[in-house]
Amino acid sequence: MLAVLGLGNPGRAYARSRHNVGFWCVEQVAREHHIPLGERRRHAVLGQGSIAGLPVVLAKPRTFMNRSGIAARYLAQRFALRPEQLLVVHDDMDLPLGTLRLRPRGSSAGHHGLESTMAELRTQEFLRLRIGVGRPPPGQDPVGFVLAPFAPGEGQAIRETVARAAEAVAWLAEHGLESAMNRYN
């Protein structure tokens, strides 16, 4: 089994923000693999299906970013997940726009959604797919930057990046982490 938790903030105000690329990735995987995201739970919206014969759970937290760990803990408990069965997909300002990085573990690097996930799971030992959203221009507040939509000139790049991120999730499900890292990092 693979559980994919895409991080983001709920609500229309944040739907197009950089912080929500984790949601976009999960939604793309759901569309491509015909997995309806229709199961609404207290802390997450879920969809269950399969990719290449592997059972997959897709999830988007219903909490705000800094409480994303509640959904991660719910998934881990409900599906009796081992750390290597949970993939957290999130935005990363330390990566240039359009860059993907799969990792088997790591620190939060100041990302509040990851901090919450680590605190709730009591481990850093879960898979991550980092989606580069770029750095804010000099003088712009990083929080405002990630909560803002992409610039018009960035639209094509981020759509292509999210499509590649969804491919990476499917490749990971079918071929494993090492192969996915070699192909998408």
Residue tagged active-site, from 19, 43, 90, 112: 19
Q: Would residue 90 show up in a list of annotated catalytic residues for this protein? A: no
Q: What are phi and psi of 147, to 5 degrees?
A: -90, -5
- Residue 100: DSSP 8-state: E
The token pair at 157 is 């790049």
b/e sequence 88-103, b meaning 16+ C-beta within 10 Å: bbbbbbebebbbbbbe
Catalytic residue numbers read: 19
